[in-house]
Structure 1
Amino acid sequence: MTDLVLSDRQDGILTLTLNRPELRNPISDADMVEAVLDALAPLNGDIGVRCVILTGAGPGFSSGGNINKMGEAGGLNAGLPAQTRRNYKDGIQRLPLAFEALEVPVIAAVNGAAIGAGCDLALMCDIRIAGQSAKFAESFVKLGIVPGDGGAWLLPRVVGFSKACEMALTGDLVDAEEALACGLVSKVVPDAGLMDAARALAAKIAANPPHAMRLTKKLLRQGWRSTLDAHLDVAAAMQALAHATRDHNEAIAAFKEKRKPDFTGE
């Protein structure tokens, strides 16, 4: 992992911080994509990581694309359309797939602006909380481009089709209170208390049995794109796995004995 993504792990909670504050943490450059992917890669195999918080260094969450590299044959645009397509497939489009495959819950702690691909990065996370100064924009259309990173798939699933169309077709900014009203975020807190609120929420998640928590996240994700009958089949199979864990038996015993459970990930 490079210093483009800072990592801090405490009590089963891993905080990842995008660390290019001088550019407000763009994520479209190849080195940043690789840094994020490298940070996520080991997490499914590490049962000790029970929740992830993703945030940005400095005054903004993420500016999305690096505006300094946009234009004719700049950044992801190779000039040759066939190569530009490959740049997206081999670059930024790997991020939503990586977040989709991740078993560990991810909380986006949105500080300041989350613009374009930065907004979509927040959408890739499972839970979003925002500081009061946070702003969101699905702003690709204002630059004469489209959401090439999966935003047009993610946004309607989070805020509904009508609001997603409004955001994507106008490109207008949405402040934190409007984001709360439309379900883009689940909580708005004072800027100074954002990371404390994110850690408190992460701690509540991390206190639960890790296998059951991971299976629950997978079921929620699977339900986005599944029919009910197919989802129920998967739920039954995952429930069989959960019933076989030591932590399930420990949860039942602790409940009956009126004590705090000791979950070990077994």
Structure 2
Amino acid sequence: MTDRHILFETRDDGIAVLTLNRPDFLNSFSHEMISDWHRYLIEFDENPDLNVLIVTAKGRAFSAGGDIKALAKGEGFIGEPKEDLWSNAFKRKEALWGNIQKIALKMEEIDKPVLSCINGAAIGAGLDMALMCDIRFCAEHAKLGEGYINLGLVPGDGGGYFLPKLVGIPKALEMLWTGDRIKTEEALRIGLVDYVYPAEEIFDRTMDFANVLNSKPQQTVRMMKRLVKSHHKVDLRTHLDMVSSHMAVVTDTNEYIELLEQMKKS
């Protein structure tokens, strides 16, 4: 249904596309959007026929993050709430922990590749949702920024965790403290995004990369992601112990055996 705030397409080739679909509100968050987003992440993760996820959006923005109109009405940053999310400190904490932060935690669990296709402006929590993805493709006209400071807010969905991992602590603090929006040339230079293309090409380029990943040995792809994502949490001895276990497993898969046979014949 096109009026849903999240669209989820699963293709026969193993690629899934999750699309933010609240363009009249610059794809700012709603209760329905957050709920469905989390539900579809679980579906993608648990479906053995799906290998790669693309996260993108409809309209001229990727996401403005929190719903400013809802915030101005005293309802909190999630539009069209189904319950009181803002009347006291406990409810405001639960509005994060029980909603948007569930997405960050689920994204951290997923071993399959997740690509963000940033089709337009990504501000505040909208940008942070792209930072949770493994690789970011960005339309060259998009403006990116952490706007929390302009409302006296802190990055509630994990931006303070993900941003310094990509751009370093000084640049992360600069972006958070100033709230300035940056152009894609600068975003590419500092490592905030990985690829920049014209708007009319951005989705196709992201899909091209998804197809490349989809053609690789999937168990190996997932184990590589797990190793890289955990590198800062473990010491070298633990990492090498993990990778030796992973090596033992992948060399017992049909994918490895088939690729080895192909190499022998080449």
Q: CA RMSD in A?
A: 1.6
What residue in structure 2 maps to residue 136 of structure 1?
A: 144
Are residues 1:250 and 2:251 paired?
no
Letter in 2 for 1:151: G
Q: 1:108 aligns with which of 116, 127, 146?
A: 116
**Runs of 5+ in structure 1 lacking a partner?**
259-266
By how many angstroms is 1:243 displaced? 1.6
- Residue of structure 2 equivalent to 1:125: 133
- In structure 2, C-alpha distance between the alignment counterparts of 1:226 and 1:115, rounded to whole Å: 32
2:198 aligned with 1:190, yes or no?
A: yes
The CA distance in 2 between the partners of 1:256 and 1:53, in whole Å, is: 35
Query: Aligned with 1:191: secondary structure?
Result: coil
The one-character-per-residue Cα deviations of 1:144-173 (angstroms, maximum 9, x if unpaired) are 100011100100001111111111110100
Q: Supply the distance in 1 between the matched residues of 2:157 and 2:257 (Cα, whole angstroms).
A: 42
SS of residue paired to 2:153: coil
**Deviations, residues 34-62 of structure 1 (Å, cap 9, x unaligned):** 11011111222323212111101011101
How do residues 34-53 of structure 1 correspond to structure 2 at under 5 angstroms?
34-53=35-54
Shift of 1:228: 2.3
Deviation at 1:88, TM superposition (A): 1.1
1-side partners of 2:119 and 2:221: how far apart? 26
SS of the residue corresponding to residue 137 of structure 2 reads: strand
Q: Distance in 2 between matches of 1:224 and 1:97?
A: 17
Structure 1 counterpart of 2:184, one-letter code? A
| Aligned ranges 1:17-32 → 2 under 5 Å | 17-27=19-29, 29-32=30-33
Q: TM-score, normalised by structure 2?
A: 0.92
Aligned to 1:172: 180
Q: Is the 8 A contact 2:16 2:44 kept in 1?
A: no
Give the Cα separation in 2 of the matches to 1:31 and 1:235.
40
Q: Distance in 1 between the 2:115 and 2:101 partners?
A: 20
Cα drift, residue 74 of structure 1: 2.0
**Gaps spanning 5+ residues in structure 2: where?**
78-84
- Is this contact kept in 1: 2:44–2:53, CA < 8 A? no
Tell me by how many angstroms 1:71 deviates: 4.0
Is 1:231 equivalent to 2:239 in the alignment?
A: yes
Task: Report the TM-score when normalising by structure 1.
Answer: 0.92
The Cα shift of 1:72 comes to: 6.9
Task: Quote how far apart the aligned CAs of 1:229 are.
Answer: 2.3
What is the distance in 2 between the residues matched to 1:229 and 1:167? 35
Q: Compare 2-11 and 63-72 and name the one that shifted more.
A: 2-11
Question: 2:234 & 2:69 partners in 1: Cα distance?
Answer: 40
- Equivalents in 1 of 2:20, 2:100: separation in Å? 15
2:58 maps to which residue? 57
Q: How many residues are paired up?
A: 257
Q: Does the 8 Å contact 2:60/2:120 carry over to 1? A: yes
Check conservation: 1:180, 1:188, Cα contact below 8 A. yes
Pick from 85, 88, 99: which aligns with 1:91? 99
Distance in 2 between residues matched to 1:120 and 1:48, nearest whole Å: 28
Quote the residue 1:151 is aligned against.
Answer: 159
Identity rate, percent? 35
For residue 109 of structure 1, give the secondary structure of its aligned residue in structure 2.
strand
Report if aligned partners of 1:47, 1:210 keep a CA contact under 8 Å in 2.
no
Deviations along 1:57-78, whole A, 9 cap, x unmatched?
0111011000011147422551
- What's the CA shift for 1:12? 1.4
**Structure 2: distance between partners of 1:225 and 1:158:** 16
Amino acid at match of 1:131: A
Give the whole-Å Cα distance in 1 for the aligned partners of 2:60 and 2:232: 33
Distance 1:46 1:209 in 2: 17
**1:160 equivalent among 168, 173, 182:** 168
Q: Deviations over 1:1-51 (max 9, x none)?
A: 982211223321111111111111113x32211110111112223232121
Q: Which residue of 2 aligns with 1:3?
A: 4
Q: Which moved more, 1:194-203 or 1:227-236?
A: 227-236
Q: 1:26 & 1:82 partners in 2: Cα distance?
A: 23
